[in-house]
Structure 1
Amino acid sequence: MQKRSMMILPLATAFVLAGCSGTVEYGSGVAPTASTTQSPAPVSSENSILSDEQAMKVVEQLLGDAEGAHILTTEELRAQSQAMKQQFDGVQIEPAKCRQVLTGSSLSDLGASTQVVGTSQTASSSRTYQVISLDDTKLDTVRQLLQPDSFDGCEQVTEHVKGQDIERQIKTLQTNLAADQASAFQLTTTGPQGSNTTAVAVSVQGLHGNEYVSVTDVVMSTHGGEEVDVQQVLSSLTKNANKAFAALESMR
């Protein structure tokens, strides 16, 4: 049984949790437009890959006029994925077998695919939309990574970074996302001693036809502060993921 990789889920969220938000430029408020992004021509075949421009339209609709909105497209994401992996090179992870859960298979490595990530961010939270249009040959890979298996002893992971410990707890959630295959999870990250902060990430993701969608919220809170209503967040994420699938289907 293959362990599920956290990076199959929300790539941009992984940047947040890895401390790479500055690299992703969440706060820039500048999103690439179709005129500045090199995109393949739109396609219409039922099993063809959608273009960056088509996927971007869906992400832009979901983002609306959200604060701190930023969009990354296929080539940008591949470059960011490599940068993020390098961030983990010097990180010691316990249990050691769980390294793949945090740094394993990335959807940015799928080759023949179109990928767009849109993120909005406030001072204490962020929402990430990830849309990927896949070639038929890549579907089995994604299906395998979305299998509803356990995290196989990696529900609690400790990262040792520059003499400090970061604790992560992973929990599988139930979702009624209208997709061929779907899953959801909650990742709670507690900062090093003395930081007094916790990050709660809730994510829903699914595969429908040749399109993969994930929607993720990350909420930062101080110890003893108001708890995140996970079910309420999950409901909102599911609603937005369903909107994304409907918009993508209309382009076929």
Structure 2
Amino acid sequence: MKKRSLWLLPLAGALALTGCSDSGNEAPAASDEAQSSEQAPAAEPLSSEKVKEVVEKLVADESGAQIIDGAAIAESLPQAKELVEGMNIEPAKCAELVAQQSSWDIEGINMAVATVAGAEVGESTSYSVASYEDDAKLSEIKKTVEAKDLQGCDSFSMEMQGMKLNASAEMLDATSDAKVTTATKTSITMEGTEVPMGSYTVQGLVGANAVSISFSGAVEDEQAKIDELVKELNVAVAELEKTQ
């Protein structure tokens, strides 16, 4: 069974998209709260135009922000898939997860993404909003996010431009105004030295919408960065709640 997730391995964070993964294990049973929420009337999803408007508001004060809508995202997916499939990711199960993450079936999902370059080389912050018209996909992403499970791929290796890199991912504690919140740290090392390609990401579910805010680059104070991202996530939550 395909599982919709807000998976945050470095590659997905770099592409700033929500995606899908495939695992041999079923997701843990949803909590009573989650089950009751699934039985409640589903919130109305946002149109492609509304999703893009929310993202534009999130980066309104940022000069040079690059915003792409769902049509542009769909057009870029084949190239993203080819890129990931050429990375020789090990162990094999993680290669499968990451490769599938970059071959998103986004039919029934209205999306928009914005990226803002940071002050340092290679530093950036991305903002992603996805609104689910497909109830089945929305249900699956809720189950997977609530599980907060890295599915055994908290450590793996990959090759990029002839270089072998080691990646690790871990779940962090975070709370926000969203109904469900996740926070993830990803790190990349080359020959034992950490390189500024990792990321910190916070994500939240709001009705039929999923929001992700991710920072890539060097971080001196981990908790301060998480707090900063949560603050921005809360702004996104407030914008989405205005549309409900």
Segments of 5+ residues of structure 1 without an aligned counterpart are: 17-45, 222-226
| Higher alpha-carbon deviation: 95-104 or 125-134 | 95-104
Which residues of 2 match residues 211-250 of structure 1 at below 5 A?
211-219=209-217, 221=218, 227-250=219-242
* SS of residue paired to 2:153: coil
| Equivalence for 1:206 | 204
Whether 1:58 aligns to 2:54 is yes
Cα deviations by residue, 1:111-150 (Å, 9 ceiling, x for unpaired): 1121010110133411111011112332112113313343
Q: Is residue 178–residue 242 contact of structure 1 (8 Å, CA) maintained in 2? A: yes
Whether 1:184 aligns to 2:183 is yes
Which residues of 2 match residues 11-30 of structure 1 at below 5 A?
13-15=13-15
* 1:68 Cα offset (Å): 2.9
Whether 1:76 aligns to 2:72 is yes
* 1:151 Cα offset (Å): 2.2
Q: Is residue 117–residue 125 contact of structure 2 (8 Å, CA) maintained in 1? A: yes
Instruction: Write the distance in 2 (CA, Å) between the matches of 1:8 and 1:169.
Output: 11
Q: Is residue 187–residue 200 contact of structure 1 (8 Å, CA) maintained in 2? A: yes
Q: Is residue 120–residue 126 contact of structure 1 (8 Å, CA) maintained in 2? A: yes
* 1:4 Cα offset (Å): 8.5
* 1:249 Cα offset (Å): 1.3
CA separation of 1:108 and 1:131: change in aligned 2, threshold 3 A: farther
Q: Is residue 122–residue 196 contact of structure 2 (8 Å, CA) maintained in 1? A: no
Q: Which amino acid aligns with 2:15?
A: F
Aligned length: 217
* 1:107 Cα offset (Å): 9.2
Whether 1:170 aligns to 2:169 is yes
CA separation of 1:9 and 1:109: change in aligned 2, threshold 3 A: farther
CA separation of 1:106 and 1:233: change in aligned 2, threshold 3 A: same
* SS of residue paired to 1:146: helix
Q: Which amino acid aligns with 1:154?
A: C
Instruction: Write the distance in 1 (CA, Å) between the matches of 2:167 and 2:4.
Output: 15
Match of 1:89 among 78, 85, 91: 85
Q: Is residue 9–residue 169 contact of structure 2 (8 Å, CA) maintained in 1? A: no
Instruction: Write the distance in 1 (CA, Å) between the matches of 2:159 and 2:242.
Output: 46
CA separation of 1:196 and 1:214: change in aligned 2, threshold 3 A: closer
| Equivalence for 1:35 | none
Whether 1:115 aligns to 2:114 is no
Q: Which amino acid aligns with 1:50?
A: L
* 1:193 Cα offset (Å): 4.5
| Equivalence for 2:28 | none
* 1:188 Cα offset (Å): 0.7
Instruction: Write the distance in 2 (CA, Å) between the matches of 1:107 and 1:242.
Output: 29
Cα deviations by residue, 1:205-251 (Å, 9 ceiling, x for unpaired): 121111110111001x4xxxxx5322111111111111111111111
Q: Which amino acid aligns with 1:180?
A: K
